[in-house]
Amino acid sequence: MSLRTRSWEKVIALAKAKAGGGTTDADNDTLQLFINAAVRTLIDYSPYWTRLLCLQQRSVINGVVPMSEDAYEVKGAGLEFLNGLYIREPNGLEIDGRPVYVISTADLENDPDDKIYVIAWDFSRWLIADNNTGEFYQNTSQSITPPEEGWEPTQFGELPIPQVSQLKDIDEVIEVWSGPKWREGGTSNQDYRGSTGVTKEGWYLDASGIRLTRPETDTVFVGFKRDFNEEFGDGTGGTVSDIPYEWADYIAYHAARSLQDTQRSAGDFAGIALRQIDEIRDSQLLLLNRANAMQVLKNYFNTYYNYDCSIR
């Protein structure tokens, strides 16, 4: 289930209404700039916006986890050995101009037959298959890169549909673990004493990425806030017209206040008070905290990644 959104038309209409008289269609470009500036302010204010949180398996390269990686994560496939991290084929192999992704060597231990599993183009469809003759899932999308939705089983009609997710760019790191934080089915990898084969990794950030203090595996699991690079607008020119519901009021008020500042002269009435805008932001952050209760209040020391049993 996707998170709620509000249309661009409604948000910019609210901003223009709050800005008061004198706003015209010519102000749309200015309001768009202010709206996107307000979005960046919100994103930087908290690392816990629900729609930006990710828990993904990532490659470790020379002791470093890159902040950006061309790879896909497969979860929930009906055959366990198909699940894992699929990285770009090291030699840059392409089929019909489309890249090939191979399962990480760290996940090959699940393979009973020493095969290599790939996400690759087959000239008319995408496949999740082995390097021999086995085809397990197909997708008829004609996209240049592997699609994330629309997969269906090819050999076994009762297989569940896998979740295929492209790795997101990392903005803020929350925690790093040596292995899967959650078992399949959503149960914790920790017993009631906290004992587990999965441990928190020591790490710090440098110019290369997330540097592990004692790298011992080829992949790790990282909880992070993803980098947000969408530009909101009317849907043309590469902009996104669906505004996150929890941000809509704040960015409309913020943009209206900014537009008022550009239009008034010295001594004019200030219009929207900054306190009003802050109250809107704080009310959404309060809802965010209530939704995650004590997990969020424990902040970086015990984030809700440590306790959530709904994800792997």
pLDDT digits (tens, 9 = 90+) for 66-110: 999 999 999 999 888 899 999 999 899 999 999 999 998 766 655
What is the arithmetic mean of pLDDT over 196-205?
84
The answer to whether residue 197 sits within a structural domain is no
pLDDT band of residue 187 (cuts 50, 70, 90) is: very low
Closest CA to 118 of 102, 105, 132: 102
pLDDT, the chain, mean? 80
**Non-local CB neighbours of 181 within 8 Å, separated by 6+ positions:** 55, 189, 198, 221, 223, 305, 311, 312
What is the arithmetic mean of pLDDT over 240-265?
85
What is the arithmetic mean of pLDDT over 143-164?
90
What is the arithmetic mean of pLDDT over 228-247?
94
The answer to whether residue 96 sits within a structural domain is yes
The answer to whether residue 119 sits within a structural domain is yes
The answer to whether residue 112 sits within a structural domain is yes
The answer to whether residue 90 sits within a structural domain is yes
Q: Judging by beta carbons within 10 Å of its beta carbon (0-12, 13-18, 19+), is residue 11 exposed, middle or buried?
A: buried
Structural domain range at position 128? 70-166
Tens digits of residue pLDDT in 121-133? 999 999 999 887 7
Question: Is 282's pLDDT higher than 80?
Answer: no
The confidence score (pLDDT) of residue 307 equals: 47
Question: Is 205's pLDDT higher than 50?
Answer: yes
The confidence score (pLDDT) of residue 145 equals: 97
Q: In what order do the strands lie in the sheet with 209-212?
A: 64-65, 209-212, 203-206
What is the arithmetic mean of pLDDT over 38-46?
86
Of 189-203, 277-291, 295-309, the range with the highest mean pLDDT is 189-203
- On whether the pTM is more than 0.85, the answer is no
The answer to whether residue 102 sits within a structural domain is yes
**Non-local CB neighbours of 55 within 8 Å, separated by 6+ positions:** 181, 221, 222, 223, 305, 311, 312
What is the arithmetic mean of pLDDT over 266-278?
55
Q: In what order do the strands lie in the sheet with 152-153?
A: 152-153, 135-139, 126-130, 117-121, 101-103, 84-88, 71-75, 163-166
The confidence score (pLDDT) of residue 180 equals: 82
Question: Is 174's pLDDT higher than 80?
Answer: yes
The confidence score (pLDDT) of residue 274 equals: 58
- Which range (23-27, 47-51, 285-289) has the least confidence? 285-289
The CA–CA distances, whole Å, from 213 to 169, 239, 300 equal 22, 40, 19
Domains in the chain, number = 1
The answer to whether residue 75 sits within a structural domain is yes
Q: 286-294: which pairs have CB atoms within 8 A and are 24 or more residues apart? A: 287/246, 288/46, 288/48, 288/49, 288/50, 288/246, 291/50, 292/48
Rounded (5°) CA angle 45-47-48: 110
**CA atoms within 13 Å, Cβ hemisphere of 62:** 3
The answer to whether residue 113 sits within a structural domain is yes
Strand partners, 118: 102, 129
Cα(66)–Cα(60) distance, integer angstroms: 8
